[in-house]
Chain A
């Protein structure tokens, strides 16, 4: 499995290499900085505007007439916080993330672990409902550490896998795949078992798998890993009653609450028709459809803007995701490629799981629609992760990495500067 490791010609001990990557390693060799991908920002802005317009269109419904000002103020704060998260994440030198990725992940993990303990001890900020502790409650704002954990997970696995790629040991079960899977399992245990949040678990798996794919893990190894995750996934569904209920809803036989949620989403979509009911004409937001401004916003967009609106929305999502794929394709540095891959996995998982549930193709898992579902920790960290992608877009090259002759993944760690001449200087790519 590690037969190619010799190609790179390096064999430093594992720990030494880790130290090199995270602490004392040389700065990322980024090449020349050029104009970033502003189209990415435009797409993010369009999605946020769609979210905002939908939100304010149904504001009278979700605030029940009073508290409009407070609601507006709150959403304004979320918007400002999200933009700040994007700007800060995009301004911080990329090397920072590589150096402190492990620490960030550890902070996130500790926050996740503290939550059920504090909840059990009934220490105030921890907020528990229905036997699951998912939130820290600070007055009118909540903080969901699981979203932070996804962000940390991207940094952690990117850093780790980049080293393994550099060492040519990416397909080593012993040195790479099993340790990486162990990192995933720790996160999944915290999220799925302790917090009973299958949606976030799916997103974590998607981030992880996307990174493995881009890191160059052989398809056969991927198949093994996916199989294991599926077995574990089925197991976790069987031991948690509420998940079983959601599954049986999806299979068409079951529990009233989830049934009701999906029925109402379908009514919102179906009654929207071709061109939608129009702004301010949403009825389903008046208490019929649960989570109208968060997890169910897609159905409300469909009710207001109709099939046309949703197709446009899907196209914008497709464009955004393609834009991130391009960053993978046109970035030489493996670490950055893996970060972009993680962000892609995150967004794609949310988009597919959220929309799939609303249109009764996938079971309901309760995760947000990126950028359109307004507010919350999810929006904050998705914007931060997109800030990372935006930062990466400063350093893309002209031709696809796979087409650049002589470029190997290892080179990004090595000192040789093969393919320098292909660095872009103007392109947004």
Chain B
């Protein structure tokens, strides 16, 4: 006892140092050997990625003074929900909701039973509640109520230009119209925030691999639409169709001097704020761009333009009207037989809308016959000059393709081409036809039809889009002037004195509708069309209006003159007044 043989402190010291040595070895293993493993585990756990949602671009148009008027805005609305596990006074909640948002509440969820179900933590009481309404409800200070903000599209002009605008579906995707066509641009680019965060996911200033990409908000678009003309066109179209007893139709108004669309009206229409309630999805479609149809006799204007430009006729070239013409196995006759056997000028062919007359014009190109060469010339004009072989590129989702047979096609024979001279046996969209017609009467310049006047990018920089000329001299300037004059003259001769000195030219058409079921043209269903321009005192066309009336039920060739023409005239009169034209 007195003297230790083995030092006890020595034993303890050795033991202690051994333990600390083991610790050091283990630390080496954790911090050196497994360092990379723990670094990646740490990164995964400590680093968070946050997506910053961009704001969707808004859609505007200009008013008469050039000021921006919103057509589509973003709006924050709230979903009011209850957390029944926190609800104290279900009766008060029900009263407050019923008082403040009777039109937006979900009444079936406002029962005592559901509000008292302590198992549940989320019960939707009302949707689409505005900020002001939420404020009022919040003032009641009710336990267990929550408010969830969401962004949705708002339409200050209601139904106006619904098909042009399109809508944003519940997944946030743009559908139809401008929303569909410019979905990516309107959406913008989401931002990314990658950062080391604390345990509650609050970003820290620590770490070198932080990523911070701000969200790029979507671009705002300014449409070429004239709010007044659009609004009036929609009313006139609806009334006109009702008078004619048809269910659907469209109007397009375009400035032939720059391709800007002033209006695209469709009926039936819908309310984009309530897109989910639409049953028939054709209501969503802008049928001035998404629907290709046989335009009928309005095509005679462009056939005449071709004949003038090809140099085979002048406005006063005489055609002897035979009433009917035999092409191979098909007999083509005129709708109006009052002027059979008379000599007619080329202008009168338009005035009387003589099918045989325009067939004759085509035959003149082939030196009296619809030769392959004549057909090739016509195809060149229709496909490449009037650009019926391609989409116009109008800024609308789902632009339809036209249907045009080349002379090399089995289907592109003499009868087909004879029919094409008066707008049958081929299909185009209204925007295609209007753009081609505009080019034919404006001196021969084909402007790309466009709905976009300007773009405001995410930096707030506004860019005004210049008119895009796709082709010049599609017909010569002289041919264009002559054609314009012929169309004007034909209208004046048909309705003397009606236009009170204004320089207006127009042409109607009635197209038989090909019935896919029977494989024949139906006799009692026709498409009525009307196209025309109004020029200023210098005879410079200011706008072109085209009207289409679907499924006109009367037999005979009256859809154009009885259904489409009145709509054309009514809208034209409005625009003349609205624009304050001088004669």
Contact = CB atoms under 8 A, between A and B. Distances in A.
Interface residues of A, number: 51
A359 B26 contact: yes
Contact of A269 (B4, B38, B200): B38
Interface string A221-252: 00000000000000000000000000000000
B1 A287 contact: no
Contacts, number: 121
Contact of B206 (A272, A283, A302): A283
A348 B16 contact: yes
A271 B19 CA distance: 24
A408 B12 CA distance: 20
B31 A269 contact: yes
B4 A302 contact: no
A359 B196 contact: no
Given A281-B206, A408-B2, A271 B42 contact: yes
Tell me what chain B mostly uses at the interface: helix, strand, loop, or mixed.
helix
Tell me what chain A mostly uses at the interface: helix, strand, loop, or mixed.
helix
B17 A318 contact: yes
Contacts of B7: 329, 400, 402
Given A267-B41, A270-B35, A352-B19, A168 B1 contact: yes
Interface string A387-429: 0000000000000101000011100000000000000000000
A359 B46 contact: no
A321 interface: yes
Nearest to B204: A286
Contacts of A117: none
Given A314-B20, A318-B17, A274 B32 contact: yes
Contacts of B20: 314, 317-318
A190 to B, nearest CB: 27
A350 B511 CA distance: 99
B26 A361 contact: yes
Given A270-B31, A270-B37, A213 B8 contact: yes
A194 interface: no
B4 A216 contact: yes
B199 A288 contact: yes
Interface string B311-326: 0000000000000000
B24 interface: yes
Contacts of A267: 38, 41-42, 45
Contacts of A210: 12
A283 B16 contact: no
A366 interface: no
Contacts of A409: 1-2
B495 interface: no
A361 B1 contact: no
B107 interface: no
B496 interface: no
A171 B12 CA distance: 20
Interface string A360-372: 1100000000000
A429 to B, nearest CB: 13
Contacts of A352: 19
B9 A329 contact: yes
B27 A286 contact: no
B196 A310 contact: no
A356 B19 CA distance: 9
A409 B12 CA distance: 19
A354 B461 CA distance: 62
A306 interface: yes
Interface in A341-390: 344, 348, 352, 355-356, 359-361
B9 to A, nearest CB: 5
Interface of A: 4, 7, 61, 168, 170, 210, 213-214, 216, 266-267, 269-274, 280-284, 286-288, 302, 306-307, 310-311, 314, 317-318, 321-322, 325, 328-329, 344, 348, 352, 355-356, 359-361, 400, 402, 407-409
Given A7-B2, A317-B20, 5 more contacts: A283-B198, A283-B206, A288-B199, A359-B30, A408-B2
8 contacts: A274-B35, A283-B206, A307-B27, A307-B31, A318-B17, A359-B26, A402-B7, A408-B3
The 3 A-B pairs with the shortest beta carbon distances in the complex, nearest first, are: A270-B38, A287-B199, A286-B198
